[in-house]
Amino acid sequence: MIVKKANEVAAEEVTAGEGTSRQVLLSADEGPNFAMRRFHMQPGGGMPNHTNTVEHQQYVLAGRATVGIGDEVITVQQDDVVFIPANVPHWYRAEGDEAFEFLCMVPNLPDETKIVAADEG
């Protein structure tokens, strides 16, 4: 078994993002099938439009954000659940005065992150 306090797990800046950091709570080495990560976006921060080759299952822990997924733009907040299929472009912008925090689970499959240029978006 593994037990951790999420708040004590090291955070790494996500260089493609702005004011965005990531913690790997349970890594691909720790679980045989999928991994659990926690993202933290400062107010006004976020991630540009990008694709991943793996799907995302997300649960919003705190804050509020505008999220673009494919052609749709939604607002999400605490206790919202989001599923982003593989290869669908998506972006995030944290709104309000509170940091936007969410869990993001991904399968243990090869992933490639590709930024979608503005004229492709």
**C-alpha dist (Å) from residue 73 to 15, 33, 65, 118:** 23, 30, 10, 15
State yes or no: residue 76 binds a second copy (CB under 8 A): yes
86: nearest Cα among 59, 111, 120, 61: 111
Q: Which residue in 11, 21, 55, 116 binds a second copy (CB under 8 A)?
A: 55
Q: What pairing do the DSSP bridges indicate for beta strands 11-13 and 64-69?
A: unpaired
Q: Give the range of 14-22, 41-49, 91-99, 104-112 binding a second copy by CB under 8 A.
A: 104-112
- Which residue lies nearer to a second copy by CB, 41 or 84? 84
- Kindly state the tokens that stand for 113: 């992150």
User: Interface residues with a second copy (CB under 8 A)?
Assistant: 1-7, 9, 25-26, 30-34, 36, 55, 57, 59, 61, 69-70, 72, 74, 76, 79-85, 88, 103, 105, 107, 109
